[in-house]
């Protein structure tokens, strides 16, 4: 009989569980006890409450193999009993599904499409707040869905349905000009990447280039970061910058910046899809290849 080498380490199965719904007592215990009952070890737990809305993310590891289908089914039964909306995310080596959210600026989307073959993922759907970029998606053969609903809750309900339909693993905000609420963001912890036109935490908000121009900054940068419920305050993934000449117009600054935005967003997506990013204590640690 062959013996297992003493130094051999069993590979862990890691499952992420998100729970969102109306806040009330006992929710944390219900889901953590479920994880323990299945032989899981809780490695991460984050929970938040905003205006009566509860959100929790559990990361559970298993030293033994588990039946993924049965586990997911039992989670859904538990969520139904507790009147919560729950989903699971399994870290696998299989190709991940990507959703790109857009409004009307095309450069980030075009850059992603031009380089999509270099990504370890499948661009499954493009979602727009309007139909301006629909023709680009159509030319690339990617499904395009326009959600022009002005009511944020109704719009996000549709977004949730689309992401479930396409089994989305990663969401890239390619100059998506709507603020996502905790009800959506909490469902995709550290799986929504945004690009911001400044070296955060400086110049937050939509008018970063105008602020940089007015302040006469000598270097302007862009920041890719994970999205949290706090605007432009999520863990920073990657930053880059370019020099500004005092004679540059605001349009010239914008042109340089938008090109760098697209490159920086693509780089962050690539690192995420290669499983090179790990968030610890609100900081992103980049693993070597």
Domain chopping of the chain, boundaries: 13-90, 96-286
Do the Cβ atoms of 89 and 18 come closer than 8 Å? yes
Q: Which fold, 13-90?
A: Alpha-Beta Plaits (3.30.70)
Annotated active-site positions, please? 232
Is the link from the previous residue into 201 a cis peptide, with omega within 30 of 0?
A: yes
pLDDT of residue 129: 96
d(CA 10, CA 180): 39
pLDDT of residue 93: 53
Q: Which ranges of the chain have pLDDT less than 70?
A: 1-11, 91-94, 203-204
DSSP-derived secondary structure letter, 169: S
d(CA 183, CA 127): 18
The mean of the pLDDT values for the chain is 89
CB neighbours of residue 190 within 10 Å = 20
- Domain 96-286 part of CATH 3.40.50.170: yes
pLDDT of residue 10: 47
pLDDT of residue 181: 93
pLDDT of residue 57: 93
Do the Cβ atoms of 189 and 172 come closer than 8 Å? no
């Amino acid at each position: 009989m062959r013996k297992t080498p003493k130094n051999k380490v069993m590979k862990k199965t890691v499952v992420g569980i998100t729970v969102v719904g109306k806040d009330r007592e006992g929710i944390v215990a219900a889901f953590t006890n479920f994880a323990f009952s299945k032989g899981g070890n809780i490695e991460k737990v984050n929970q938040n409450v905003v205006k009566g809305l509860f959100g929790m993310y559990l990361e559970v590891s298993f030293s033994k193999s588990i039946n993924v289908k049965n586990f997911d089914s039992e989670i859904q039964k538990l969520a139904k009993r507790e009147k919560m909306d729950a989903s699971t995310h399994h870290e696998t080596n299989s190709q991940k599904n990507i959703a790109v959210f857009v409004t009307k600026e095309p450069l980030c989307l075009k850059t992603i499409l031009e380089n999509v073959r270099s990504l370890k993922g499948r661009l499954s759907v493009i979602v727009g707040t309007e139909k301006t970029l629909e023709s680009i998606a159509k030319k690339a053969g990617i499904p395009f869905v326009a959600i022009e609903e002005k009511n944020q809750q109704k719009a996000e309900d549709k977004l949730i349905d689309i992401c479930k339909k396409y089994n989305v693993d990663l969401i890239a905000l390619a100059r998506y000009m709507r603020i996502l609420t905790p009800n959506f963001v909490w469902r995709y912890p550290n799986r929504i990447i945004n690009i911001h036109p400044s070296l955060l935490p400086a110049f937050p908000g939509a008018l970063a280039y105008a602020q940089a121009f007015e302040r006469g900054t000598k270097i302007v940068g862009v920041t890719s970061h994970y999205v949290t419920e706090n605007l432009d305050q999520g863990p920073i993934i990657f930053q880059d910058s370019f020099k500004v000449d005092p004679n540059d117009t605001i349009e010239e600054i914008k042109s340089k910046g938008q090109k760098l935005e697209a490159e920086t967003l693509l780089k962050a997506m690539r690192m995420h899809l290669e499983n090179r990013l790990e968030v610890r204590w609100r900081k992103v640690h980049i693993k070597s290849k």
